[in-house]
Amino acid sequence: MVNLKSNAKAFIHERIIYEYMMFRFSKNNLTMRHVIRHGKLLHNPSVVSVSYLEIIDTTFPDVERIVLKGDKNKEGRPGEIKFLTSEFKYHRDDIDRFHNFMEKLGCIIVLRNDNLPLGLIEKYPDIDVYELDKLDFEQYVKENFDRLFHKQLLSRDGKPFNIWIMSQAPNFYKGYKKMNIQPASESGLWCPKDTSLTKYDIATGDKILFLKFGKEFRLSQLVQDYWKSHKSIYPDWFITELYIGEVTTPLMDRSDFCNIKGIPIHTPLWKNESDGNKQWSKIFEFRKINNWKCNINLREMYSELPDIVHPILYYVFTQQVSVNVKEVDYIKILEYVLDQYKNGECVG
């Protein structure tokens, strides 16, 4: 996966965003999503049209004046353009000009809204963030810079959705009735172990294949030891349940999720948070598509699908990581499970 921060700035300057905005404005069709209003993440952001735009250059702020249709501030406001919200640093690096920026109700305009930078919301809770239309920007870059955008800018490679494989940790199938905590399979809430993932990795419409592995105690260590010594799959390693879900709310910070849901941020959401353990920092919501109770021997599966069992399923289980797989591999897994279902090895 291409890293937006390290690669986009090397090949795509912010001036391309300026040119895109000015071009769309000249055609009277520049719109943005109001994703953060007065420091609060909006669950259903509104789309606003730009009625006036004056961009200076790369000095802070980039936008001398922008007027948004329906905005109470009829005279307009300044704006600063960034690839990512988290790249905004002027509240720390240029305090005097930033104070002037905020007095004029300055806003942040981004290609992607990821996270507000540290220290901004605490001191300046009224900040607004607007997000450009990424698909429209992509089309503009394609038309003007051939394939540059797809090669250098973090994207989903034209796929309508991502497909992920994750392991059913105990939080997935165990709840805690005393604290009214449901298992994830019922609550539809999950957090991947990899906290570097963002809403652009796990987004609405993505498919998640949650696998439950069994059956022996300390199975993960046995599977790893057997592979190290035999370079083969442990004979008694099984998939005991396969659960297919679809993401309904993209991955977000826990604070944003709790803010949207109106619940205290320290509310336990999974069983292992009920006893004071460190809370998971990111959350996405999903719905159930289907699930099967299985008895699939992975050693046998390895003989037919070696590249899927190892390394993909091996690392999903032993390292508890989330793996983004190709659609063709997803289909192979489902076809294999269907064959087992026909043979009586799975129960829907």
Q: What is the pLDDT of residues 66-106, one digit of tens each?
A: 999 988 878 899 999 999 998 888 887 778 888 889 999 99
Residue 171 has pLDDT above 90, yes or no: yes
Evaluated on CA atoms 225, 227, 228, 230, the torsion sign reads positive
pLDDT at position 60: 80
In the chain, % helix, strand, coil (3-state, to 5) comes to 35, 30, 35
Residue 347 has pLDDT above 50, yes or no: yes
Dist CA 77 CA 127 (whole Å): 12
Residue 36 has pLDDT above 50, yes or no: yes
pLDDT at position 340: 80
Mean model confidence pLDDT for the chain: 85
Q: What is the pLDDT of residues 238-275, one digit of tens each?
A: 999 999 999 999 898 898 899 888 899 999 999 999 87
> Which residue ranges make up each domain of the chain?
4-152, 163-347
Dist CA 209 CA 163 (whole Å): 8
Q: How confident is the model at residue 1 (pLDDT cuts 50, 70, 90)?
A: very low
Name residue 297's beta-bridge partners. Answer: 238
Dist CA 313 CA 166 (whole Å): 9
Dist CA 134 CA 156 (whole Å): 11
Dist CA 140 CA 23 (whole Å): 9
pLDDT at position 348: 59
Residue 157 has pLDDT above 80, yes or no: no
Residue 227 has pLDDT above 90, yes or no: yes
CB-based contacts of 8: which residues, under 8 Å, 6+ apart? 83, 152, 153, 154
Strands (E), the chain: 31-37, 40-55, 63-68, 77-84, 107-112, 128-132, 163-167, 189-190, 207-214, 238-253, 282-297, 323-325, 346-347
Range of 55-59, 147-151, 281-285 with top mean pLDDT: 281-285
Dist CA 275 CA 78 (whole Å): 48
Hey, what are 320's tokens?
Answer: 């508890």
CB-based contacts of 70: which residues, under 8 Å, 6+ apart? 48
Region of poorest pLDDT, from 85-99, 165-179, 212-226, 280-294: 85-99
Q: Are strands 163-167 and 207-214 parallel, antiparallel or unpaired?
A: parallel
Give the CATH number of domain 163-347; options: 3.40.50.261, 3.30.930.10, 3.10.590.10, 3.40.5.10. Answer: 3.10.590.10
Q: How confident is the model at residue 57 (pLDDT cuts 50, 70, 90)?
A: low
Residue 147 has pLDDT above 60, yes or no: no
For the residues 101-128, what does the mean pLDDT come to? Answer: 88
Closest to 339 measured CA to CA, from 309, 286, 294, 272: 294
Dist CA 298 CA 305 (whole Å): 9
